[in-house]
Amino acid sequence: MKRWKWIAYLFASLLILAVVSIKIVRAEVAYRFGRSYRFPIQAYDPRDPFRGRYLALEMEHVARGSAIPLEHTYGPFSCCVSITVDEKGRARFDHLSPEPPESGDWLNVDLQRFRGTRNSFRPPFERFYLNEKLAPAAEQILMDSFTRGDAELVVRVYRGFGCVEDLLIDGVPIRELAKQRLTSTASTRE
């Protein structure tokens, strides 16, 4: 009987390692081979004691209607959303469909609800993690940039999967801005 327990434990451990490894490999492939897009965002620091310090991201999450079958208008449904880039170089979600588009990049998303010709979905990028010491300064930088609307999330997309590359404020990574703010406040205190 003990032998079966060890076999079951080994199988469960290998299964967990395989799932985690697949996710890591998919993210690395998207990061290395994917095309880079800049999505306009808004963010805040929710101060979650269980997940640590991160920035919660708010993205546009409505796309044009498509031929989504009526039996899938309620409840969870996985579909594809195409990505377009405007004349300013900012990406946005364009068109939802049950199948990947023939040309261009797309992301797999979960459809939330159906409203006529407009569909709401859950964007795949909801959090941006950074050092806990930098999070308060990063939140303040983001609050200052909201009036100008210059916060962009840089995402790499490859075959329906995307990974977050960076968060930019006026074209500068937020980690660099937060470090500069921390060092300037530390030097003014002295």
pLDDT in tens, 89-142: 899 888 888 888 888 899 998 876 555 555 677 788 888 888 888 888 888 888
DSSP 91-128: EEEEEEESS--SSS-EEEEEEEEEETTEEEEE-S--EE
Q: Which of 69, 100, 124 is the last residue of a domain?
A: 124
End-to-end CA separation in angstroms for the chain: 67
Same domain, 158 and 173: yes
> pLDDT category, 23, cuts 50, 70, 90?
very high
| Count of structural domains within the chain | 2
User: Are 98 and 138 in contact, with CB atoms under 8 Å apart?
Assistant: no
- CB-based contacts of 93: which residues, under 8 Å, 6+ apart? 60, 61, 62, 63, 81, 82, 83, 107, 121, 123
User: Are 126 and 116 in contact, with CB atoms under 8 Å apart?
Assistant: no
Same domain, 45 and 131: yes
Does any domain span residue 22?
no
List helix spans (H) across the chain: 2-33, 135-145, 174-189
Q: Are strands 77-85 and 127-129 parallel, antiparallel or unpaired?
A: unpaired
Nearest to 61 by CA among 35, 34, 81: 81
Same domain, 131 and 53: yes
Q: Which of 105, 124, 143 is the last residue of a domain?
A: 124
Same domain, 112 and 87: yes
Same domain, 98 and 134: no
Does any domain span residue 168?
yes
Better pLDDT: 153 or 60: 153
| Mean pLDDT (whole number) for 53-60 | 79
> pLDDT category, 165, cuts 50, 70, 90?
very high
| Mean pLDDT (whole number) for 28-56 | 83
pLDDT tens sequence across 60-102: 766 565 555 555 555 567 788 889 999 988 998 888 888 888 8
- The CATH number linked to 54 is 2.40.50
The reported pLDDT for the residue numbered 36 is 94
Helix (H) or strand (E) holding 153: strand 151-158
Does any domain span residue 102?
yes
Q: Which of 124, 141, 159 is the last residue of a domain?
A: 124
Evaluate if residue 44 carries a pLDDT over 60. Answer: yes
Same domain, 134 and 188: yes
* DSSP annotation of 88: T
The reported pLDDT for the residue numbered 128 is 86
Same domain, 152 and 190: yes
Nearest to 153 by CA among 131, 187, 123: 123
The reported pLDDT for the residue numbered 127 is 85
3-state secondary structure of 166: strand
Same domain, 52 and 84: no
Q: Which amino acid is at 16?
A: I
Which structural domain, as residue segments, surrounds residue 175?
34-59+125-190
3-state secondary structure of 70: helix
Model-level pTM?
A: 0.78
